[in-house]
Chains A and B, each alone.
Chain A
Amino acid sequence: MKNSMWSLKLSTSALVLIPAAVGINYIGKLFAGLLKLPLWLDAIGTVLAAMLAGPVVGAICGAINNVIYGLTMDPISFIYGLTSIGIGLSVGVLAHRGRITGIGSAVVVGLIAAVVSTVISTPINIGFWGGQTGNVWGDLVFAWMAAHHFPVWMSSTVDEFIVDVPDKIATVIVAYGIFKGLPQKMTILFRHDSQTEQL
């Protein structure tokens, strides 16, 4: 039996991957803070789960990640769950089609993830914050563009995009690096497009 990548029937190992992936997101954010990197790097787990188990698990990881963030740190993250779902879906589809073959294509996938993230986040930013992202560098650009009378949607898109591009590219590269380093007996566990014998 060959399952499609959109199958909603999740195996136990795929379900157990979700908490681990959310944990990886959290650890990535902590390490980025610890090393004082100018990136968030808080979607590594989501991207890794999408590479390992496909778009459905990637999207669920994204959603649960933001629910947990919302419950434990910042309630605003609930709304940005939509962005995380988008990232999980897009990376999952691309990985499943075998588009991630090396560092070069990982950069392209990161760029696509950044576009998806910008498209989803910008309306939320505008509706919620009047267009800002809360990131110092992005907001400086936003202020400059607003002062020069660019329309809000344009300055807000640029604000989100310049923050997202380096972050998502770095995220996909790190996740790809980890994915490549995994032994096959690990990766085979989560793929559900091939035939697997249940215990």
Chain B
Amino acid sequence: MKALSLYQDNGTLIHRVDPISKLLYIAAAIFIPVVLTGFTAGLAMLGLSLMLLVLARVLRKVVPLIGFSMLVLISVVIIQGLFYAGNRQVMFALGGVHFYREGLLFSAAICVRVLNILCAFALLVLTTRPSDLIESLVRQGLSPHFGYVLSSVLQIIPQMTGTMETITDAQRSRGMETEGSLMVRLRAFLPLIGPVVMNSLVSTRERSLALEVRAFSSRAQKTFLNEERVSTSNRVIKIVLLAAMAAAVAWRVVS
């Protein structure tokens, strides 16, 4: 069964860093540029993330992940470049429309911020198996029930996509229109989604019975399938990240 995930199994050094350290890295990547305002800190964090992504050999996989945000960012640059409220100084004109310096700077700041956050998350998402992430979160004190819910979602979605294809084919073979005017397409929505929803709710009932039979609600201490790997390098990474965040705050206070 294929689970929903963007994980790339390249087995590099980055892949062996534990998920909690990567989460801490995301926190640092967001926190440090917020504390140290200005372009430099954001660009430095972005450069660091890109370097780590290259090291993990997943740089090409980042493109689809940030594709959607790229479209929005392009429209942000255009709209803010043209209409930003503080626009004073014309930077250049393109086909008769003027792009302003202030708006472009404002949108550049947005681009750096968004790309920085996206790349930091990409590092986690592309190099960590979701089940490993969930397991380490449960170790850190997340309720095992929620751990189950999270990993169950990742399995249920490909299953439901399969059901969805079956039902689309079944309804089409009965002559239901799925193409044409907006009204036709709107009307097709309910007969398509209805059976998928019913199907999944019925299996919900069975699933909860199956879980209860296996002592899901038992309050006894849960054990783990995999042994916890404790390494000094992971502890060093965490300490360095925390120190970096503290240093950023100190720098801001002093200067």
Contact = CB atoms under 8 A, between A and B. Distances in A.
Asked whether A and B interact, the reply is: yes
Interface of A: 10, 12-13, 15-20, 22-24, 26-28, 30-32, 34-38, 41, 44, 48, 64, 67-68, 70-76, 78, 128-130, 132, 134, 139, 142-143, 146-147, 149, 151-152, 174, 177-178, 181-182, 186, 189, 198-199
A147 to B, nearest CB: 5
Given A38-B182, A78-B121, A198-B217, 12 more contacts: A12-B208, A19-B152, A23-B156, A23-B159, A48-B197, A70-B121, A72-B4, A75-B122, A75-B125, A128-B114, A130-B106, A147-B82
Contacts of B207: 16
B145 interface: yes
Contacts of B117: 75-76
A16 B110 contact: no
Nearest to B79: A143
B14 interface: no
A35 B153 contact: no
* Size range of the chain B interface in the assembly: 35 or more
B244 interface: no
B13 interface: no
A92 B189 CA distance: 24
A131 to B, nearest CB: 9
Chain B contact residues: over half helix, strand or loop, or mixed? Answer: helix
Chain A contact residues: over half helix, strand or loop, or mixed? Answer: helix
A170 to B, nearest CB: 8
A146 B82 CA distance: 9
B149 interface: yes
Contact of B156 (A20, A35, A129): A20
B69 A13 contact: no
B193 A174 contact: yes
Given A30-B164, A72-B6, A182-B201, A130 B80 contact: yes
Contacts of A177: 190, 194
